[in-house]
């Protein structure tokens, strides 16, 4: 029991320390161009641990665990989020691209090291995301009904974070949703 609590604290501490955000800024002609550029870095089914792979395939049979394509900012055009890992260091990054006539990298979030249990999935427009009740929420964090599709970053069986576009801030924001 103490070990589980300690493990949660360690994981939360690692997330807090390693989540360095920065604007990526790259410009691409299309989502296809982005996918081609990152094709060797995108987390795929073969990268997942066996248990995670099985659970993912039971729900998301035709989707890649490292790609979410949806309209994140409500402009009617598809955007893309990628979960990538560097081949040499296994450094994990969540990348967001908003597309109009071209696709622009608007946010990259360093998530630490890839262990085979991390993936991204979409959260449908209209769903409510709520902060986890196991930790005190930062001031002002309340449940949010999504205006657009969001991205769920999950560390299988451990924690999850919802990333969604906040129109007023013109930025992706996050809520830790479970542990």
Q: Residue 94: what pLDDT?
A: 97
- pLDDT tier for residue 62 given thresholds of 50, 70 and 90: confident
Angstrom distance (rounded) from CA 83 to CA 24:
14
- Do 112 and 92 contact (CB within 8 A), yes or no? yes
- For the cut 60, the answer to whether the pLDDT of residue 41 exceeds it is yes
Please spell the DSSP secondary structure of the chain, one letter per residue: -HHHHHHHHHHHHHHHHH-EEE----EES-HHHHHHHTTTTB--GGGS-HHHHHHHHHH-TTS-TTEEEE-SSSSSS-EEEEEEE-TTT-EEEEEEEEESSSEEEEEEEEEEE--S-EEEEEE-TT-EE---SSSPPPTT---EE-SS-EEEEEETTTEEEEEEEETTTTEEEEEEEE-
Q: What pLDDT shows up at residue 15?
A: 44
Instruction: Say whether pLDDT at 17 is over 60.
Output: no
What was the pLDDT predicted at 18? 39
Distance CA 49, CA 131 (A): 27
Torsion from C-alpha of 154, 155, 157, 162, nearest 10 degrees = -30
- Position 43 pLDDT exceeds 70: yes
Confidence (pTM): 0.82
Q: What confidence tier does 23 reach under pLDDT thresholds 50, 70, 90? A: very low
Separation of alpha carbons 163 and 173, rounded Å: 6
Question: Does residue 143 surpass a pLDDT of 90?
Answer: no
Instruction: Using pLDDT thresholds of 50, 70 and 90, give the confidence band for residue 11.
Output: very low
Residue 127 and residue 36: Cα distance in Å, rounded? 31
Q: Band of the pLDDT at 63, cuts 50, 70, 90?
A: confident
When pLDDT is averaged across residues 33-47 and rounded to a whole number, the result is 96
Res. 172: pLDDT tops 70:
yes
How many Cβ atoms are within 10 Å of 126's Cβ, its own excluded? Answer: 10
Mean pLDDT of the chain: 84
pLDDT score of 119 = 94
List, for residues 95-118, the tens digit of each pLDDT value.
999 999 999 999 999 999 999 999
pLDDT at 136 over 70: no
Q: Which residue bears the tokens 């641990």?
A: 49
User: How far is it, in rounded angstroms, from Cα 153 to Cα 155?
Assistant: 7
């Amino acid at each position: 029991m103490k070990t589980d609590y300690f493990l949660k604290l360690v994981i939360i501490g690692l997330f807090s320390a390693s989540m360095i955000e920065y604007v990526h800024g790259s410009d691409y002609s299309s989502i296809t161009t982005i996918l081609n550029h990152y094709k060797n870095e995108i987390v795929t089914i073969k990268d997942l641990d066996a248990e995670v792979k099985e659970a993912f395939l039971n729900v998301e049979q035709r989707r890649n665990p490292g790609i979410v394509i949806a309209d994140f900012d409500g402009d009617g055009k598809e955007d893309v989020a990628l979960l990538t890992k560097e081949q040499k260091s296994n450094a994990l990054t969540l990348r967001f691209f908003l597309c109009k006539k071209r696709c622009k990298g608007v946010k990259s979030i360093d998530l630490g090291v890839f262990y085979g249990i991390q993936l991204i999935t979409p959260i449908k427009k209209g769903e409510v995301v709520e902060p986890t009740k196991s930790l005190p929420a930062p001031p002002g964090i309340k449940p949010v009904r999504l205006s657009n599709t969001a991205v769920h970053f999950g560390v299988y069986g451990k924690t999850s974070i919802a990333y969604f576009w906040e129109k007023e801030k013109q930025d992706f924001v996050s809520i830790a949703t479970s542990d």
